[in-house]
Each structure stands twice: as structure tokens, then as C-alpha cells.
Amino acid sequence: MKVPKELQSLIEDGVIDEVIRSLKSGKEAAVYIVRVGADIRCAKVYKNMSQRSFQKRAQYQEGRQVRGSRQNRAIGKRTRFGRSEEEAAWKNTEVEALYQLVDAGVRVPAPYGYFDGVLVMELITDAQGQSAPNLGSVELTPEQAREYHRVLIQQVQRMLCSGLIHGDLSEYNVLVGADGPVIIDLPQAVNAAGNNAARAMLLRDVGNITATLARFAPELAVTRFGEELWHLLETAALHPDSVLTGEFVDDDSAVDVEAVQQIIEDARDEAQRRQRGREEADGLRKPSNAEDDPNPEFHAQ
């Protein structure tokens, strides 16, 4: 196998010792199994912008922070420097998300470092020690499906509590490791508080996982964990250990238009009354009952 130049430089620098084989190649990156001393890990080599096909980045990047105003201006103007900074920010998002989520107790591959566009991280393996398959390629019993669903919803909950939404979660971004499901591929991770599409992405993430596992446990299809999670987040009631039910009732209560209009009119009348009172106090106009005023000349002065 020809060793990619990005990994060859890491061998020369002593970061890794050997490239064992290619693991997979996707739209964003190519992943290789590597040896670091006595440990077997994987190295994710991000593809250049010209080689990648991932679309609609703008919706994921909303709310992300870039280092400084110069970088932000360059990205907005789409200059060469701006595109380079945007590319760096896109790659760094996954690295930063992995460290953040590991600290939050989310089951993701443990990162071991980021070197010149290459992310070295934990290799997820199955019970036989082979590279773990994705969730979409395994057959499950109903009991396994329910357990995997419980675990994955808990991971999504912890992610949300740490301020992140995966944004592209599906059966292809979950590996079935020896110790259960592991969430991978996070360069498009979304800022839950700063992205206008955050709710829609959360519902899509949860919906994708639920639909996959409902093939084995059909009762999962009627659960509404996504809506429940977002409601708890909005009401500041979401915590990593919050007990979820999977039940959620939409607020279909009709708005009382007449009552709202009456409130508006009452507020307008009150504002006008206060304005008249201020004008009368300043001597700018006659009292509203001037025709009954026994001393009109006094008030006109």
C-alpha cells in the first residue's frame, strides 16, 4: 500500500510508527489503521476542499466561532485566505468536539492528537478485535435494538447538555463496538445555542437513529425523544441525568385573538392616558375636562 504523504510525514516525525492498511474513504476524509508503539489506532486524513463533495456547509457553520475579526472578514469575502481559514475551522471542529464530548462522558473515539490535517484517535473494534461495523450493517434482536436506542439517546442528551448537536447522525455514523454504540464523524457538529437550524437537526438526528432501530423494535417508532429533549433544553430543565420518557404532546392550544387585541387596546389607552397626564403636568395643553374648569385663564398661562 502506498502511504499517503500526510501520514509519511507523521512517520518521519515519530508521531506514528506504521501505516497498516486503509480502513475507509469517505466524502470528507480517508481513515487508516496505524501503529503507534504497541498500540493500534486510526488516523483520519482530511481531504482538500477540491476533493470533497460535502454540500450545504453554511447551515452547519452558523454560530461557530472563528479566531478573530480578520479571519471572519476573510471568510465572509470568500478570499483565498478566507477559504483556507474556513477549511481549518471545519477540520478543527471535529477535533475540538471530540475532546469536549469525551470530557462530557459521550462515547466517541478518544482523540490522541491533531497533526497537520491528520487526526489520530482510538480505533473502535468489535468483540473479536476487528474494526467495528456501522449500525446499519448489523442484525439486532429487539432487546439489543431497544438497548442501543436507549444508549444513543443518552449520548445525544449528553451532547446537547454540552452545547453540541451532531448534525448528521445516522446508522452510518455509529459504530457497534465491543462495549456498545460509538458515535463518530463530527466535523459538522452544530452549536445548539447559536444555530437557527439546531432544533431541526436534533430532531433529524434522533429520527434517523430511531428509524434504524425501529426496524428491529417497531415500538420505538412512536417515541418522541427529540421533541422532549428540545423542550427540556428550552425550559432550562435538561441535565445529563434527566430521566426521559420519549413522550411529548404538541401545544395545539388556539390563541385567543380577541383577548390579545383587548390587551393591546388596553395598553394603548393606558399609554395615551399617561401621555395626556405628562402634557397637562407640563402645561402644554388644557386639562381633558377644560370645559368644566372654573379657572381656564390660570391653566392657559
244 belongs to a structural domain: no
Mark whether 112 and 158 lie in a shared domain: yes
Q: What is the pLDDT of residues 82-137, one digit of tens each?
A: 556 667 667 788 999 999 999 999 999 999 999 988 999 999 999 999 999 999 99
Distance in angstroms (rounded) separating the CA atoms of residues 247 and 238: 15
178 belongs to a structural domain: yes
Q: How many domains does the chain have?
A: 2
Mark whether 208 and 162 lie in a shared domain: yes
Residues, the chain: 301
Mark whether 139 and 90 lie in a shared domain: yes
Mark whether 41 and 167 lie in a shared domain: yes
172 belongs to a structural domain: yes
Mark whether 227 and 296 lie in a shared domain: no
Asked whether residue 229 carries a pLDDT value surpassing 60, the answer given is: yes
Asked whether residue 262 carries a pLDDT value surpassing 80, the answer given is: no
116 belongs to a structural domain: yes
Mark whether 58 and 181 lie in a shared domain: yes
Domain of residue 277: give its range.
Answer: 259-300
Q: What is the mean pLDDT of residues 1-28?
A: 93
Asked whether residue 202 carries a pLDDT value surpassing 90, the answer given is: yes
174 or 283, which is more confident = 174
Mark whether 56 and 180 lie in a shared domain: yes
CATH of the domain at 96: 1.10.510.10
286 belongs to a structural domain: yes
pLDDT band with cut points at 50, 70 and 90 for residue 258? low
Q: According to the model, what pLDDT value does residue 239 have? A: 97
Q: According to the model, what pLDDT value does residue 26 have? A: 82
Asked whether residue 290 carries a pLDDT value surpassing 50, the answer given is: no
Mark whether 158 and 50 lie in a shared domain: yes
Q: According to the model, what pLDDT value does residue 150 have? A: 98
Q: What is the pLDDT of residues 140-188, one digit of tens each?
A: 999 999 999 999 999 999 999 999 999 999 999 999 999 999 999 998 8
93 belongs to a structural domain: yes
Mark whether 13 and 156 lie in a shared domain: yes
Q: According to the model, what pLDDT value does residue 257 have? A: 62
Mark whether 206 and 284 lie in a shared domain: no
Mark whether 163 and 265 lie in a shared domain: no
253 belongs to a structural domain: no
User: Cell numbers of 276, please?
Assistant: 395626556
Q: According to the model, what pLDDT value does residue 259 have? A: 60
DSSP string, 152-214: HHHHHHHHHHTTEE-SS-SGGGEEEETTEEEE---TT-EETTT-TTHHHHHHHHHHHHHHHHH
